[in-house]
Structure 1
Amino acid sequence: MALHQAFQDKSTAKDPRQTDALKLQARRHYVFDSNQRTCDESVIELIPSIRRLIEVRFNVEAIKKEIDANPDMPLELKLQKWEKMKLTSFARILALAYSYSLLTVTLKCQISILAADICTQFEKPREPVATGWSSYLPPGFANYFGSSAPSTSEPQKQPDVGSQQIFMQCIQYFTSTGIQQLFDNIEKAMEESLQNITLKQQMSKDEVRAIFESAEKRIFSEDGVEFCQLVAPLDENMNMVGETLQNLIRRLVRSLKSTECKDTTRALADYYLSTACGRIPGSSPAPLAKLIPPLSDTFHSISSTSFESPLRNSLCSSDVHQLAIAVFSSKIA
């Protein structure tokens, strides 16, 4: 019985079909992993420009400097400046959380879609087709008869590299246009969430976190912003681009609209927000005015790309990995 099993195992191991399947599987793993590493590098390279956009739009330091440089500022004007700093500090942290998270998931989806296309190229090669008398010739011998001999194979469809390159530039729409729309929505939602909270109000870290949650609900209400509209808005101009590019963009939109993508984006944003609130010193409730400066200062640590930064940890998260696999496996896109 053992001898029969050993012979059966040996026969199975030599099965060419199984060997080919294992080779394809190994190649898929290689393509996926190598493309994900490239994606991580791209995210890290784009982060400094995203951070600068946030700093320019929500310039907390300029407000602080103005208050400190004018000790004789009228009380009413000083209160106005503090109210502005309150809004700007909260909005800046929320803008960081969602712009970093959306950048990460968008590039992960794009790279996974292209990696899947690469695998399609070698998983489904066109089989040689021989017809007529040439089918009786030895392999390659029909070539000696020139163009008059029937073709022994169908042409291999080449990937549309140009469309793929343009597709990857979708992220430029987000970093130039979409992100400003995101900032607008965040500022409006945060202003509504803070309107009934005074600078003197005693607040704990959990209550500060609840302010962010309130703004998030406003941003992503039924009539709120859609992630895909910030990255790849589909409009009448879609008919002006090629079919391959249209297909890639539509797959990206399906990915960004998926429950998996939305949940992953919010999970990443939650990680940034929880980290920021957790780094506020002290454990007892304090007036909001005293919490604003340390909350604002957390921006500099959580926005970095250092080894232990939230960004690096998010790139290694299981949620992001599972999303990339789902898109790569065409379960979403």
Structure 2
Amino acid sequence: MFSSVWNFIKRHKKKFIFTGAVVGGVYIFGRYAQKKIRDIQEKEATEYIAQARRQFHFESNQRTCNMTVLSMLPPLREAVVAQLNSETLTALLKTKPANKLEIWEDLKIISFTRTIVAVYSTCMLVVLLRVQLNIIGGYLYLDNSVGKSITNPLAPADVQQQYLSSIQHLLGDGLTELITVVKRAVQRSLGSVSLKQSLSLLELEQQLSWIRAEVESDSERPMSRFLLADDENALAE
């Protein structure tokens, strides 16, 4: 029996070798394919986790931006009101002074100036804080990345403080200069408009467009000067 089996194997030796090679090749290829699939799955899982971490960090940073902006609005409002105090003029009018027409004219200029300055300064505050906090947030994300050395952080505490303290320029000297520029444009635009004259919506829009053009037309002195002090502008460049 064994001799017949052996003879059968010898007669079909090539077929057995070919079949063995095919089976072995399929097995090796299967193992290789499984390894590749595992590698791909692990890579995808790693990328997904990294993406999830980035998304979580970004959303967390945006919430921080929103809360910081909201916390800075009251100081900004106080700074605007302190320099453009229409309440004092309103109280003065109640005393029926002899120069009430002049006070009304001042009140007109201050009211328009305060409204326009509030819009400009709020937009600037939002932009400046979002840029600063997103830059800091990006550095903090890199500092907290796996494998990043904590001995040389990209955003040490003093750098973060320097970034965030620059907002004081907008609340101080930058705001004062913005008020001066806007008030000058308002006086040129509305100074000749009588208190008894009513403006249509189109006329008011035209006046505001002219004031905007006046405020934003100085190409030699960009509006970034209201946000950043001169030394900070130099650093930004």
- Structure 1 length normalisation: TM-score? 0.55
Provide the rounded CA distance (Å) in 2 between the counterparts of 1:13 and 1:205: 66
| Alignment partner of 1:158 is 2:153 | yes
Which aligned pairs between 1:31-46 and structure 2 lie closer than 5 A?
A: 31-46=57-72
Is 1:90 equivalent to 2:116 in the alignment?
A: no
Instruction: Indicate if the aligned counterparts of 2:109 and 2:191 stay in contact, CA closer than 8 A.
Output: no
| Paired position in structure 2 for 1:221 | 217
Gaps spanning 5+ residues in structure 1: where?
A: 1-6, 127-153, 239-245, 254-333
Match of 1:81 among 98, 103, 118: 103
- The answer for the alignment partner of 1:55 in structure 2 is 81
Aligned equivalents of 1:42, 1:99: Cα separation in 2: 15
- Select which of 65, 78, 81 maps to 2:91: 65
Would you say 1:182 and 2:178 are equivalent positions?
yes
Which residue is equivalent to 1:26? Answer: 52
Q: Residue deviations 1:187-230, cap 9 Å, x none?
A: 11111111332222231233223322211110000347523222
| Kept in 2: contact 1:173–1:231 (CA 8 A) | yes
With over 3 angstroms needed to count, the CA separation of the structure-2 counterparts of 1:96 and 1:12, relative to structure 1, is: farther
Confirm or deny: 8 A CA contact 2:169 2:229 kept in the other structure.
Answer: no
- Aligned length in residues: 203
Residue correspondence of structure 1 range 119-198 to structure 2 within 5 A: 119-122=141-144, 125=147, 157-159=152-154, 160-198=156-194
Instruction: State the one-letter code of the partner of 1:45.
Output: S
Whole-Å Cα distance in 2 between the matches of residues 38 and 11 of structure 1?
40
Q: Aligned residue for 1:235?
A: 231
Aligned CA distance change for structure 1 residues 117 and 93 (closer, same or farther; 3 Å): same
**One-letter amino acid matched to 2:107:** M
Task: Note closer, same or farther for the CA distance 1:69–1:49 as it changes in structure 2 (3 Å cut).
Answer: same
Of all paired residues, the percent bearing the same amino acid is 25
CA distance in 1, matches of 2:143, 2:150: 13
Which stretches of structure 1, 4 residues or more, deviate above 6 A after TM superposition? none
Flag the 1:34–1:201 CA change in 2: closer, same or farther, 3 A.
same
For 1:202, the equivalent position in structure 2 comes to 198
**Structure with larger Rg:** 2
TM-score with structure 2 setting the length: 0.75
Which one has the bigger helix percentage?
2
Rounded Cα–Cα distance in structure 2 between residues aligned with 1:12 and 1:194:
73
Aligned partner of 1:109 among 127, 131, 138: 131
Q: Per-residue displacement from partner, 1:45-103 (whole Å, max 9, x unpaired)?
A: 11111111111221212112212211xx43xx222111111101100100111111111
